[in-house]
Amino acid sequence: MSITANGRQIVSASTDRTLKVWDLNIDRKLFTSICHADWVKAVSITTDGKRAVSASKDRTLKVWDVATGCELHTLASHRGAVQSVSVTADGAWAVSSSKDSTLKVWNLITGKELRTLVGHFNWVNAVAVTTDGQWIVSISDDCTLRIWDIASGNQLFTLVLNHTNWIYAVAVTADKQYAISASGDYTLKVWDLTFMREVNTLKGHSESVMAVAITADSKRVVSASVDHTLKIWDLANGKELRTLVGHTDSVLAVAVTADGKLAVSASRDRTLKVWDLISGHIICTFTGDSIFSACAVAADGVTIVAGDSLGHVHFMTLEGL
């Protein structure tokens, strides 16, 4: 699922391989487009809200015109399922990660592949682009976090992550000082990217942590877990601030708005919930016809991206809620 930057539209995707755009103000479907030939694993949207990028198990990404639902490009050169996608803040490039152990950088205007990043030796599960557009941060089943220079494609650093289970997600602070990893070992870990070391472990979830997001001011972390909850953490001291309860099944994705006031979560209970991070209250709930399975925040901190396990992609903006 994702939120457009103008705050008025949601884009969703499902097992019937369609992509749908919904208007938040009048609660109606704007259009439906034929989507991928298999599950959509992730989606991202440009800061201006004009284009969306979906990543699929069918080994392709697609670029969409959000206003019309028309497909602009198909990006097809991965040799495995595309696990995640992140768009640069200027909307010019996208970076994808795949089960083929590579990342790829794409030009969203031309639809052309710019380069392939090789270094991981197992599935690359998640990718994030720093807000300044300089770094790509990836995490893999090879238990490493790698930092790449987006302009050259060169690998800058490798950090071995000492989680005791699979690592599902990564987020990076706006100042590039810290990365937070989320794992099946029920924890999140905070990594200092200057000294390349672990500085804290966030413990509190009772099941796997599937997703993580950081507020734009880099003060709070929001995590999503199979234990049906989300948790808000103080990044400076690692303390749990609040637990968000409302989902009835695993929470698989979370994204935070640029002002740090709201979060959106996606769950196996087939709902998408919008939360007030100050009060912890649910502002609204959207019910779908399939499991919501993935979520990420775009590089500009405004756009929220998510996908579901059945192949739909969703875009959403929170402005005006």
Render pLDDT for 159-210 as a digit per residue (tens, 0 to 9).
999 999 999 999 999 999 999 999 999 999 999 999 999 999 999 999 999 9
Helix (H) / strand (E) containing 84: strand 82-87
* Winning range, highest mean pLDDT, from 31-40, 93-102, 258-267: 93-102
Per-residue DSSP letter, 269: T
pLDDT over threshold 70, residue 35: yes
Label residue 320 by pLDDT band (50, 70, 90): low
Q: Looking at beta carbons, which pairs linking 150-157 to residues 24 or more positions away fall under 8 Å?
A: 150/88, 150/93, 150/95, 150/105, 153/105, 153/115, 153/116, 153/117, 155/117, 155/119, 157/193, 157/196
Q: How far is CA 133 from CA 8, 49, 87, 175, 201, in A?
A: 26, 18, 9, 12, 27
How far is residue 100's CA from residue 118's CA, in Å, rounded to a whole number?
10
Q: Please state which of the ranges 60-69, 146-155, 217-226, 237-246 shows the lowest mean pLDDT.
A: 60-69
| pLDDT per position as a tens digit, 70-127 | 789 999 999 999 988 888 989 999 999 999 999 999 999 999 999 999 999 999 999 9
**CATH number for the domain whose boundaries are 2-316:** 2.130.10.10
What percentage of the chain has pLDDT greater than the value 90? 59
**pLDDT at 219 > cutoff 70:** yes
pLDDT at residue number 244: 98
> At residue 271, does pLDDT exceed 70?
yes
| Residue ranges per structural domain of the chain | 2-316
Average of pLDDT values for 229-244? Answer: 98
